[in-house]
Amino acid sequence: MRRRLAALFLAGLALAGGGMSGAAAMRKPRPGHTTVMPPPRDPDIAVREELDAARRAGTVAAYDLFIARHGNHPLAKAAQRERTVIAGRRPG
């Protein structure tokens, strides 16, 4: 399960990078040229995507990871409620 969460997290990082490879992202502009940086991505989008990943995984561990990372975010309350429901479904 941890491997799956790690894969989901790494996939999210790859998406957040805008599709640029490491070399392209680090390339310096040529003299005389200016580089315009795109505006930063809305951080709430990334948090929502991580909650969606926890929902797809559907495990207590996935929700625990989300809550540990984003415990102060407003979506943490929804994640906690959903985690409680999933924890109640676990076979005893």
Cα–Cα distance measured from residue 51 to residue 24, given in angstroms and rounded to the nearest whole number: 30
Tell me the domain boundaries of the chain. 2-89
Cα–Cα distance measured from residue 12 to residue 66, given in angstroms and rounded to the nearest whole number: 13
pLDDT number for residue 64: 98
Q: Which of 9-18, 33-42, 53-62 is most confident?
A: 53-62
Q: Is residue 32 over pLDDT 90?
A: no
Look up tokens 């040229």; give the residue.
33
- Note the pLDDT tens digit of each residue in 59-79: 999 999 999 999 999 999 999
Tokens of 77: 């309350």
Q: Which amino acid is at 15?
A: L
Entry pTM = 0.57
